[in-house]
Amino acid sequence: MEELLWLIPALPFAGALLLVLLGNRISRALVSAIGVGSVGISAAITLVLGIEYLTSRPSFIRQEVWQWFDVAGFSPSIAFHLDALSMVFIFVITFVGFLIHIYSTEYMAEDKDYARFFACMNLFVGSMLMLVMADNLLLLYLGWEGVGLCSYLLIGFWYKEPANGYAARKAFIITRVGDTAIAIGLFMLFQQFGTLHIQSISTEAVQVWTIGNETAVIIAFLLLGGAVGKSGQLPLQTWLPDAMAGPTPVSALIHAATMVTAGVYLIARMHVVFELAPAAMMAVAVIGAITLLIAGFAALTQYDIKRVLAYSTISQVGYMFLALGVGAWSAGVFHFMIHGFFKALLFLCAGAIILALHHEQDMRKMGGLSKKLPVVFYTFLIGAASLAAFPLVSAGFYSKDQILWLQLAGENGNIWLYLAGLLGAFITSIYTFRMVFLTFYGEEKTHVGHKPTWAITVPLIVLAVLSFAGGFIELPHNFGHVVLFSDFLAPILPAVSIVPDFTQYEWMLQLLAAVISLGGIFIAYLFYYKKPELIDSIHRSEFAMAVHRFWHSGWGFDQLYDALFVRPYVYLSKVNKSDFIDSFYTFLADATQGLHDLFSRSQTGIMRNYVAGIVVGAIMILTISLLL
């Protein structure tokens, strides 16, 4: 079965190619069959390979498809590498991707660019699979850029709206900043090791570098730059809320299964380098902590349901970074998986709501949907509970609790990081349930048009089950002590060493986390359901409104970057409008044009002149030959 490995990324690519070539010439049913089928077969192969992998437990499976090129000793292959880490990612990408594809068949049913949509989606999934399965960093980078390209194509899918094109360009350009950093990091890695093969780098790095080696730190920071760009972390997070311009399934795909988790994958994959660079590790954790707070506060004030979810994604990826930053690799990846489930669920629910309300995204105009859309309501509730880390029954509780606990108990932990995470959890549960109360409770404000059918409800139910049950494969030490997930990842990602003094407090911290989560839900209940007048009292305060506006704009980062980069750049381009370096070439062009005009005037169309020209030429040639 191992030889089927290459099919996992190849099938979505093939689907994309087929859809690009056939386009709108084939029926929608066939487009759906190709688009959904290719990812579905990939998922099935993943399942088969996963079962085989779990039973036989090799350290990894490698399959070389062909050698890419061979230049001066640099010979990367198109080769796929399957180990526990990539297994988790492939699993999430193919399965969640498959569910999103099924969902899209209904969500996009009315769109005239149906085939283009599925072609891009397939390409997206294929690129992401290549990214996580790559055996060397160059192939990873190819997938990385492929993901960037597809995000551009899909965010700007409805390109006739200029704002969507703007959002797409913004996403592309901002992630490009990170991509440049990662490219430089790859150059430096190649210069150090003469290869980009991930396994070789991992084994050699430990021998070549000591902890804190300057080069290792620089490379780690450069890789972090790339990860930050793709994962929408501070300071490159501004593209992500705008990425909501795309169709909702795209948002689900970007936020749950692909794209934003690429940064998490990169850091987890290159954890050897990061472990050798404690400064970079610290930076990862700090960036994660700050981002999760900033994004959380911003999410509190959004009215667009998709923007709330976008900020919550930034915030949750911040948690993953927090975990990675303290060396809790498996906790970070675990949270990635759980987040993939519940965030896809929440986005798909939001999409169902938006579709039902005739593309209304403003939560102030929603309400009372719990009766109208019961399936969406209950699944959304499960997703929200998971996001808010509702104690004991939600998967999000276990993954988030593990991260929080390791902030204190891990040897790289830090009380401030813990407190930031705790505050973040509190905010998370507030904005999550604010969303629930605003959307599903209260009086109905917009008429429900489109009732979701099976293509929407089935993915929702499956994801809801996963969001609910996914947490039980990894339970805390003092509570069941199930460590299936971290055991699975143990050969790849080293476990975090725990400071023993803290073990006795674990249940206390869990209780604290539970109380925080419930408290957040209660506050949301109080403000948005029980006593809405409290909101009005806040709105009356001048200061609170200023803060509200500040948070609503995402902490003013867009304005800041506009002032810092965009406007000076635009100013400079205006100053140098007629590029002075180009003037030489413009001169060349003008001179050629002038000569052309001059000589074209000699073509008078009068035959006598041509004859005279011939005579003059003959005289000249004769004279020259006589003189010489």
Nearest to 362 by CA among 350, 346, 374: 350
Min separation Cβ 588 and another protein, Å? 21
Q: How far is the CB of 615 from another protein (least distance, A)?
A: 5
* Residues in Cβ contact with 614 at an 8 Å cutoff, skipping those fewer than 6 apart: none
- Taking the complex as a whole, the smallest distance from the CB of residue 594 to another protein amounts, in Å, to 14
Nearer to another protein, 59 or 602 (CB): 602
**Shorter beta-carbon distance to another protein: residue 58 or 617:** 617
Shortest reach from residue 601's CB to another protein, in Å:
6
Q: Which is nearer to another protein, 580 or 599 (CB)?
A: 599
Q: Which residue has the tokens 């056939």?
A: 22
C-beta of 481 vs 601, nearer to another protein: 601
The least CB distance from residue 110 to another protein, in Å, is: 47
**Residue 50 CB neighbour total at 10 angstroms:** 16
CA distances from 298 to 253, 405, 461 (A): 22, 25, 29
Q: Which one, 503 or 609, has the nearer CB to another protein?
A: 609
Least distance between another protein and beta carbon 587 (Å): 23
Rounded CA-CA distance 6/265 in Å is: 20
In the bound state with another protein, the residue whose beta carbon lies nearer, of 29 and 607, is: 607
State the DSSP H helix or E strand holding residue 63, giving kind and residue range, or none if neither: strand 61-67
Find where tokens 């750049």 sit: 569
Residues of this chain, 562-601, that bind another protein according to CB under 8 A: 599-601
**Number of Cβ within a 10 Å radius of residue 545:** 13
Number of residues that bind another protein (CB under 8 A): 19
Closest to another protein by CB, 578 vs 600, is 600
CB of 255 to another protein, least distance (A): 56
Q: How far is the CB of 595 from another protein (least distance, A)?
A: 12
The interface region with another protein, picked from 72-80, 247-255, 332-340, 605-613 by CB under 8 A, is 605-613
For 7, how many CA atoms within 13 A lie in the half-sphere containing its CB? 17
Only one of the segments 159-167, 441-449, 467-475, 606-614 lies at the binding site for another protein (rule: CB under 8 A); that segment is 606-614
Q: Which member of 162, 580, 602, 628 binds another protein (CB under 8 A)?
A: 602
Of 535 and 612, which has the nearer Cβ to another protein? Answer: 612
Between 540 and 608, whose beta carbon lies closer to another protein? 608
Please say which residue, 364 or 596, places its beta carbon nearer to another protein: 596
Smallest distance, another protein to C-beta of residue 603, A: 3
CB of 97 to another protein, least distance (A): 57
Minimum gap (Å) between residue 585 Cβ and another protein: 24
Contacts of another protein in 314-343 (CB under 8 A): none
Region of 367 on the Ramachandran plot (φ > 0 left; ψ -120 to 50 alpha; else beta)? left
Q: Which residue, 67 or 623, is less far from another protein as judged by CB?
A: 623
Which residues lie below 8 Å from residue 249, measured CB to CB, with a gap of 6+?
A: 100, 101, 103, 104, 107, 108, 121, 347, 348, 351
CB of 611 to another protein, least distance (A): 5
Find the shortest distance in angstroms from Cβ 593 to another protein. 12
Q: How far is Cα 602 from Cα 339, in angstroms, rounded to an integer?
A: 75
Angle at 614 between CA 613 and CA 620, to 5 degrees: 90
Could you tell me if 121 and 249 are in contact, meaning their C-beta atoms sit under 8 angstroms apart? yes
Distance of alpha carbon 340 from alpha carbon 89, whole angstroms:
10
Q: How far is 81 from 72, CA to CA, in rounded Å?
A: 24
**Nearest to another protein of 71, 607 (CB atom):** 607
Contacts to another protein from residues 195-224, by CB under 8 A: none
| Beta-carbon contacts of residue 65 (< 8 Å; ≥ 6 apart) | 6, 77, 78, 79, 80
Spatial separation of the C-alpha atoms in residues 401 and 425, rounded to whole Å = 10
Taking residue 412's Cβ as centre, other Cβ atoms within 10 Å add up to 18
3-class secondary structure, 604: coil
H-helix or E-strand containing 471? Answer: none
Instruction: Single out the residue of 606, 624, 627, 628 in contact with another protein (rule: CB under 8 A).
Output: 606
Candidates 157, 120, 108; CA nearest to 16 is 120
Residues 6 or more apart whose CB falls under 8 angstroms from that of 176 comprise: 148, 229
476 contact partners, CB below 8 Å, separation of at least 6: 398, 401, 402, 405, 506, 510
* One-letter-per-residue 3-state SS of 3-23: HHCCHHHHHHHHHHHHHHHHH
Identity of the residue, 504 or 602, whose beta carbon is nearer to another protein in the bound complex: 602
Residues 608-627 that bind another protein (CB under 8 A): 608, 611-612, 615-616, 618-619, 622-623, 626
**Contacts to another protein by CB under 8 A:** 599-608, 611-612, 615-616, 618-619, 622-623, 626
